Amino acid sequence: MESRLTKKKAPSAPKSKPKTKKRKVTSFSTDRRRKHRHWQVTVYYRDSEKFARTYTDRGRATRFAERQKRSPVVRSARVRQVH
């Protein structure tokens, strides 16, 4: 009966990660992958609290911000496009 010895491999140099291609940045108007845009409404309260809600319809986001601004406890409300 033969005894088979397994040889250990010599430690090799650490492999570097393969180079990946950089994607070019496209604008929202020309990017066909996007089905809709996102609008984030951030409400800032007088007691330094913050609340944010995201909409896919800009009109709804604007109406929500205007409605929140009427409240006496709200300092400001902002609508911005989220990437």
Q: Is 53 exposed, middle or buried (0-12, 13-18, 19+ CB in 10 A)?
A: middle
Report which of residues 8 and 62 the model is more confident about.
62
Q: Give the HSE-up count for residue 79: Cα atoms under 13 Å, Cβ half-sphere.
A: 18
The mean per-residue pLDDT over the stretch 31-53 comes to 91
Q: What percent of the chain has pLDDT over 70?
A: 83
Side chain identity at residue 66, one-letter code: E
The DSSP code sequence of 26-81 is --TTT-TT-S--EEEEEEEETTS-EEEEEES-HHHHHHHHHHHHTSTTEEEEEEEE
Report which of residues 25 and 78 the model is more confident about.
78
Side chain identity at residue 60, one-letter code: R
pLDDT digits 0-9 by tens, 16-37: 777 888 877 777 677 777 778 8
pTM over 0.85: no
Which pLDDT score is estimated for 3?
64
